[in-house]
Amino acid sequence: MRSVFYLLDSAPYGSEKAFGLLNAAAASLGKMEVTVGLYGDAVYLALRGQDSKGLGVPNLAEILYAYGEMRVVAHEPSLADRGLFSEGLVETVELVDEEAFLEAMEGSDCLIPL
């Protein structure tokens, strides 16, 4: 396997899933071509200006900034459905439509939903 697509569909805070997925994706960099896909509630991870201090958990946006070489695609219709279309996004996140999201998944050798 030379490429992996990590798919997240749950909100960034409230469970360990997003943190775990980003850690796994970061560990895969350099070994494989890595894409992180944000779908459904996971698109909240793409929002700029996150502040998780009150939650006592790491700010996950900082992980995105720390690994700028990680390709992160956010499902544009999910953002629109949640009224987030005009919100500022983390600069490293790429907005993609349904077709492009599917292409990114299909183009990877391995799909890991978390």
The mark string for 18-47 relative to other proteins (x by CB under 8 A, - otherwise) is --x--xx--xx--xx---------------
Closest CA to 77 of 45, 53, 43: 43
Separation in Å, CA 97 to CA 1, 5, 33, 46, 94: 26, 16, 21, 15, 10
Of 45, 41, 69, the residue nearest 57 (C-alpha): 45
Alpha-carbon span 41 to 56, nearest angstrom = 21
Q: 11, 17, 40, 92: which one contacts other proteins (CB under 8 A)? A: 17
Q: Is residue 100 a contact residue for other proteins (CB under 8 A)? A: no
Of 26 and 95, the one with the shorter C-beta distance to other proteins is 26
Q: Is 80 in the site for other proteins (CB under 8 A)?
A: no
Closest approach of other proteins to the CB of residue 106, in Å:
15
Which residues in this chain contact other proteins in the complex, by CB under 8 A? 1-2, 4, 16-17, 20, 23-24, 27-28, 31-32, 110-114
